[in-house]
Amino acid sequence: MSYFKTALLLAGLTALFMGVGYLIGGANGALIALIVAAAMNIFTYWNSDRMVLSMYGAQEVDERSAPDLHRMVAELAGRAGLPMPRVFIMDNPQPNAFATGRNPENAAVAVTTGLMHQLSREELAGVVAHELAHIKHHDTLLMTITATIAGAISMVAQFGMFFGGNRENNNGPGLIGSLALMILAPLGAMLVQMAISRTREYAADEMGARICGQPMWLASALGRIEAAAHQVPNVDAERSPATAHMFIINPLSGQGMDNLFATHPSTDNRIAALQRLAAEIGGTTYRPASAFSRSAGVAPASVPPRGSGRSPWGGQPRDRGPWG
C-alpha cells in the first residue's frame, strides 16, 4: 500500500471522528473533534512508544540482562540497515510481538516471554525481522496513531450514547441516532484500521523474510504463534482491542478467517506467500507448528528481575542459529 493510500485511510478515520463529533454536538462538535484528533496525532507522535509499552507492562532489556535476544536484534537491525532499536520483554504467556516508535531512530521491539519460550532461535529471528521491517517501512507510527484514533472513536461513541440518547431536540442524535452511533462509528473505525493493518502485514512478512534470509523461519513462527494465540489469552490485549493490529498475529480470541473484519490477513495466506518467496530466493521446507518438537524452543522460565544479569531465556540450550 502506498503512503498516499495510507494517508487517505487516516484522513477517513479523522473524518469519521469528526462525523461522530457532529452527530453529538453539531458543527461545533465536528470542529472540536477535528482539534482533538489533531492534538491526539501530535501527542501520539511523540509518545506512541511509551504509551503502548506501558500499556503492556513491557520491561526494557540490554546486552547484560538479555544477551541472546539483544544480540539477535542488533545483528538483524544491521542487516536491515537500521539503528539499534530498544528491546523490551512483556511478561505474557501468549507468543506474540510488536514494534512501535515514531521513526527508526526512536523505535522499540517488544516480544512476550511466551514467544521466547515456545519458538526456536530461527523462528524468533524471523519474528524479530518482521518487526524490524515494520520499523523500516515507518509503519509503527502509523499503526499507533490509528489505534489511538480508533479507540477514541469508540469512547466518544459511547459518550454520545449516554449523553445524547435522552435528547428530544435537534441538538443531539436522539435515542435511535445514539444507538446507531454506538454501533456504526466503532465499526467504521475498525474497518479503516483493518484496511491499514492487513496490507502492511504482507509487506512486513516479505521484507522480514529478506532481512533474515530465510522465509520459512518466519512461516514456521507464524504457524506456531497462530496455534497458540487461540489457546492462550492475552489479557492486556483484550482490555485494549484497538491495539490488536500492532501484533504480528492477532492477540484477541475468536479471530481467524481472512475477511473484512479480521485484524490480520489469514495466517495460511501469509504462509503461502512466504512459501512462494522461499521458492524464489531459497529457503527450507515449511513444516506445520505441530510438527516441531518442544525441544526446538526453550524450557519455560520466569522473567528475571531487571539488572539481574541473567538471560530471560534462562540459560537453557537452544538450537544454534547464525546468532550464536
Residue 86 belongs to some domain of the structure:
yes
Binding residues for Zn(2+): 130, 134, 201
Which amino acid appears at position 298 of this protein?
V
Strand partners, 79: none
Between 186 and 86, whose confidence is greater? 86
Residue 167 belongs to some domain of the structure:
yes
Binding residues: 130, 134, 201
Whether 206 sits among the annotated catalytic residues: the reply is no
Strand partners, 61: 87
DSSP state of 56: T
Looking at residues 148-154, what average pLDDT do you find? Answer: 66
Residue 228 has pLDDT above 70, yes or no: yes
Residue 79 belongs to some domain of the structure:
yes
Distance CA 191, CA 308 (A): 44
What is the value of pTM for the model shown?
A: 0.73
pLDDT tens digit sequence for 73-100: 999 999 999 999 999 999 999 999 999 9
Residue 323 belongs to some domain of the structure:
no
Range of the domain at 149: 3-292
Look over the chain and give the mean of its residue pLDDT values, rounded to a whole number: 75
Residue 260 has pLDDT above 50, yes or no: no
Residue 302 belongs to some domain of the structure:
no
Q: What's the number of domains the chain is made of?
A: 1
Rounded to the nearest 5°, which phi and psi values hold at 19? -65, -40
Residue 310 belongs to some domain of the structure:
no
Residue 298 belongs to some domain of the structure:
no
Between 206 and 46, whose confidence is greater? 206
Residue 322 belongs to some domain of the structure:
no
- Of 131, 206, 238, 280, the catalytic one is 131
Distance CA 228, CA 132 (A): 23
